[in-house]
Amino acid sequence: KQARISIDREVEVSRVDERIFSSFIEHLGRAVYEGIYQPGSKFADEDGLRTDTIDLIKELKVPYVRYPGGNFVSGFKWEDSVGPVSQRPHRIDPAWGVIETNEFGLHEFMNWAKKADVKPMYTINLGTRGVSEAKDVIEYCNIKSGTYLSDLRRKNGAEEPFGIKLWCLGNEMDGPWQMGHKTAREYGRIAHEAGRMLKFIDPSVECVACGSSNSSMPTFASWERTVLEESYDTTDYISLHTYYGNRDNNTPDFLASSVDMDQFISSVVATCDYVKAVKRSNKKINLSFDEWNVWYHSNEADTKLEKWVQHPHQLEDIYNFEDALLVGSMLITLLRHADRVKIACLAQLVNVIAPIMTSDTGAWKQTIFYPYLHASTMGRGTVLNTAVKVDTYESKHGDAPFVDAVVIADEGQETLTLFAVNKDLKSDYSVTMDVRQFEGYQVQEHILLTNEDLKAVNTEEKPDNVAPVFCQNSKVEDGTLKSVLPARSWNVVRLK
Ligand code: AHR
């Protein structure tokens, strides 16, 4: 089968904001404890931080990490997480039915972030707390000295302010499962006031208001409209979250989930611009897709977990090959919307619905690690408007193209990178793309991730069962890139 991809060097979508390759660590399961922090482990450094996961996170070049929640944050008291560890309280975390010891807290996270070369995206609790605590936590983090809380931070070992620039105003406040769940109007008011408070104290910060937890929420779109009506002047980004699963074992439908993601993004953009028009505002609200991934494999096991224990194996999805294909398509979807999606967080980063898993004997890469790695390391530059002429198939999300693709030009590095997923389970696709505007460019590499078995996984014992290879499926001939994308495959074709 055949597909044609068309680009024009001068028809750009946008420069990619590197924050689109961000991720997320929540106090949940073994994300923090045993994931990034495990004193006594042979992989731990002098601060108890796991160096093996830090190495993998550096390989991924993760720019920002959202922290500390997630649902967890809506019952969290940030003050519990600072000061001498022996005096920090153990608390119940009602969101996940576990006990949080607070052994790893704000200072430990900032220290870890520095070592992992990531920047913080800090979530405040707007569920069970409010404006006053927002005021306190930013004073603690961002004021240099001379006030009670900034001096407390210095006493606790951080002479210099943390300087956190990106703040999430609560988490999934539209969800009835959220502690302190609110109506859109209630949340919009508190988000506005909390955001105003953060900006009074540090005008250089940016704020992300909660959008919908997914596009199937009954309040979807009217939630965004109302929240933005109330908080337009303080909000910089509105959040989107979504997780997909293949519960019916229908792979074509599952792989078509990126169509839903695409429509979700377009609808949120439209809603932001509607409120902009109503307000006669010049300000544009951009999007922070700060939770996205596949999540369903662990759902059943999690219903059997014992309550009120410390960091159990929770939300530990073991990802298979078809999950990697969808993650690749979701990355393509985010990049195709790079004009409005400025931040996105693969949820999450270690052990909990994550590309990286750990045990006492090491850390290994799940299947989804690879598309994330390739996009983050090779997807920086300028997104070109990428038209894909290809057959579509019917799915529960509407018509889905068999091939998803996006092209990134990096003028500095003089590279042109095509990311493409072939969702056809049986047929290869021969793809052509006119590259005469990129005179002299030749194929540097074609990286391919494919597998006969859609359900193949990586495990501690077989960590390289699903791994990318270099192939010779691409060439430039007479100004045309000609590539063969094998059936069911993730492809990175890099020209230079
Ligand atoms: O990432 C897991 C959970 O999914 C987060 O805590 C929550 O925000 C979402 O529902």
Q: How far is the CA of 392 from the centre of ligand 1 (A)?
A: 32
Range of the domain at 300: 17-378
pLDDT digits (tens, 9 = 90+) for 358-414: 999 999 999 999 999 999 999 999 999 999 999 999 999 999 999 999 999 998 999
How many Å lie between the centroid of ligand 1 and the Cα of residue 71? 6
Q: Separation of 357 CA from ligand 1 center, angstroms?
A: 18
Give the pLDDT of residue 388. Answer: 98
Task: Note whether residue 5 is domain-resident.
Answer: no
Residues of the chain with pLDDT under 70: none
Nearest atom within ligand 1 for CA of residue 96: 6
Inside any domain, residue 62: yes
| Nearest residue to 496 via CA among 372, 430, 411 | 411
Pocket-testing residue among 171, 242, 352, ligand 1, by greatest number of atoms within 8 A of Cβ: 171
Nearest to 469 by CA among 374, 375, 404, 376: 374
* Domain identity same for 357 and 442: no
Tokens of 59: 């390989």
Q: Catalytic residue among 34, 79, 224, 291, which?
A: 291
Ligand 1: residue whose CA is nearest its atom 5 = 70
Say what the pLDDT of residue 33 is: 98
Residue 195's pLDDT is 98
pLDDT for residue 266:
98
* Whether residue 353 sits in one domain with residue 238: yes
Atom 8 in ligand 1: which residue has the minimum CA distance? 70
Residues 233 and 332 in one domain: yes
Q: Name which residue sits closest to atom 6 of ligand 1, judged by CA.
A: 70
For β-strands 206-209 and 166-169, DSSP reports them as: parallel
Q: How far apart are CA 50 and CA 36, in angstroms?
A: 5
CA distances from 411 to 7, 71, 228, 414, 416 (A): 15, 41, 36, 5, 8
Task: Answer yes or no: do 227 and 321 share one domain.
Answer: yes
Does the residue 10 lie in any domain?
A: no
- Count of CB atoms within 10 A of residue 278's CB? 12
Same domain, 317 and 441: no
pLDDT value of residue 133: 97
Given the structure tokens 């042109």, which residue do they identify? 416
Co-location of 284 and 422 in the same domain: no
Task: Please state the atom number of ligand 1 nearest to the C-alpha of residue 348.
Answer: 1
Atom of ligand 1 nearest to the CA of 347: 1
Does the residue 8 lie in any domain? no
Q: Which of 344, 378, 412 is the endpoint of a domain?
A: 378
* Alpha carbon distance 69, 474 (integer Å): 43
Candidates 172, 224, 316, 322; catalytic one: 172
CATH code of the domain containing 46? 3.20.20.80
To the query of whether residue 206 is one of the catalytic residues in this protein, the response is no
- Phi first, then psi, for residue 318 (nearest 5°) are -100, 115
Are both 277 and 402 inside the same structural domain? no
Q: Which atom of ligand 1 is nearest to the CA of 293?
A: 1
Q: Can you give the pLDDT at residue 66? A: 98
Terminal Cα-to-Cα distance of the chain (whole angstroms)? 27
Question: In this structure, is residue 419 part of a structural domain?
Answer: yes
| pLDDT digit string, tens, across residues 325-360 | 999 999 999 999 999 999 999 999 999 999 999 999
Is 7 domain-assigned?
no
Look at residue 198 in the predicted model and tell me its pLDDT.
98
Q: What is the ipTM of this complex?
A: 0.99
- Distance CA(154)–CA(163), nearest Å, equals 13
Residue 145, phi then psi, degrees to nearest 5 = -170, 175
Q: In this structure, is residue 82 part of a structural domain? A: yes
Pairing of strands 489-495, 443-450: antiparallel
What is the Cα–Cα distance from 428 to 360, expressed in whole angstroms?
A: 41
477 Cβ contact list (under 8 Å, min separation 6): none
CA of 185 to the centre of ligand 1 (A): 22
Is residue 372 domain-shared with residue 394, that is, in the same domain?
no
- pLDDT, residue 88, reads 98
Please return the burial class of 203, using the count of CB atoms within 10 Å of its CB with bins 0-12, 13-18 and 19+. exposed
37 and 176 inside one domain: yes
Residues 99 and 82 in one domain: yes
Please name which of 95, 92, 102 lies closest in space to residue 308, comparing C-alpha atoms: 92
Q: Which atom of ligand 1 is nearest to the CA of 243?
A: 4
CB neighbours of residue 457 within 10 Å: 18
CB 201 within 8 A of CB 281: no
HEC letters along 369-403:
HHHHHHHHHHCCCEEECCEEECCEEEECCEEEECE
Residue 17 DSSP symbol: P
Atom of ligand 1 nearest to the CA of 95: 6
Cross-strand partners of 237: 208, 286
Tokens, residue 392: 């579509």
Number of domains in the chain: 2
CATH number, residue 442: 2.60.40.1180
Dihedral angle at the C-alpha atoms of 177, 178, 179, 182, nearest 10 degrees? -110
Cα 292 to ligand 1 centroid, rounded to whole Å: 9
Same domain, 322 and 441: no
Is 172 one of the catalytic residues? yes
Residue that the structure tokens 């995206």 belong to? 121
Rounded Cα distance between 183 and 227, Å, is 9
Query: How would DSSP label each residue in 95-146?
Result: TTTEEE--SS-HHHHHHHHHHHT-EEEEEE--SS--HHHHHHHHHHHH--SS
Nearest protein CA to atom 9 of ligand 1, as residue: 70
Atom 7 of ligand 1, residue of closest alpha carbon: 70
394 Cα: distance to centroid of ligand 1 (angstroms): 30
Residue nearest to atom 1 of ligand 1 (CA): 347
Q: Do 253 and 137 share a structural domain?
A: yes
Of 313, 344, 378, the last residue of a domain is 378
**How far does the centroid of ligand 1 lie from the alpha carbon of residue 95, in Å?**
10
CA gap 388, 400 in Å, rounded: 12
Give residue ranges with CB within 6 A of ligand 1. Answer: 26, 69-71, 171-172, 291, 347-348
**What three-state secondary structure class fits 252?**
helix
Residue 390 CB-half CA count within 13 A: 31
Among the candidates 349, 378, 407, a domain finishes at 378
Spell 30-60 as b/e; 16+ CB within 10 A means b.
bbbbbbbbbeebebeeeebbbebbbebbeeb
Domain presence at residue 2:
no
User: With b meaning 16 or more CB within 10 Å and e meaning fewer, what string describes 222-236?
Assistant: ebbbbbbebbbebbb
